[in-house]
């Protein structure tokens, strides 16, 4: 899974909800969809689709977003930021 993450693969085992915390932080820091797109390395349209729930964030994109806001003083995890949980957490451990 680590190789998949490095290549920008999908969240795989993560089941995502609406990114309410993300939208709240965007408003708190006055960030636009284009600002977030630049932070994550996406086009405006791709970010808009992800924020609307039409496409999913990759795990790498989620890490970038959490890292960005934690650098601003927030204390987020992917779980609280994206409302996700691990369906099969044991699958993340190397055997």
Taking Cα atoms as reference points, which of 54, 25, 53 lies closest to residue 39? 25
SS3 call for 39: helix
Per the model's pLDDT, the better-predicted residue between 89 and 5 turns out to be 89
Q: How many residues can be counted in the chain?
A: 95
SS3 call for 85: strand
The domains located in the chain, with CATH, are 2-87 (1.10.260.40)
pLDDT digits (tens, 9 = 90+) for 31-81: 999 999 999 999 999 999 998 888 888 889 989 999 999 999 999 988 888
Could you give the residue ranges of the DSSP H alpha helices within 1-95? 2-6, 20-28, 33-40, 44-51, 59-71, 78-82
Contact 81, 62 (CB under 8 A): yes
């Amino acid at each position: 899974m680590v190789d998949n993450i490095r290549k920008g693969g999908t969240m795989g085992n993560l089941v995502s909800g609406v990114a309410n915390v993300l939208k709240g932080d965007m408003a708190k820091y006055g960030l636009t969809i284009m600002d977030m797109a630049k932070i994550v390395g996406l086009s405006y349209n791709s970010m808009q689709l992800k924020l609307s729930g039409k496409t999913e964030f990759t795990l790498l994109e989620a890490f970038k977003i959490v890292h960005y806001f934690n650098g601003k003083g927030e204390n987020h995890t992917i779980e609280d930021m994206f409302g996700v949980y691990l369906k099969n957490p044991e699958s993340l451990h190397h055997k």
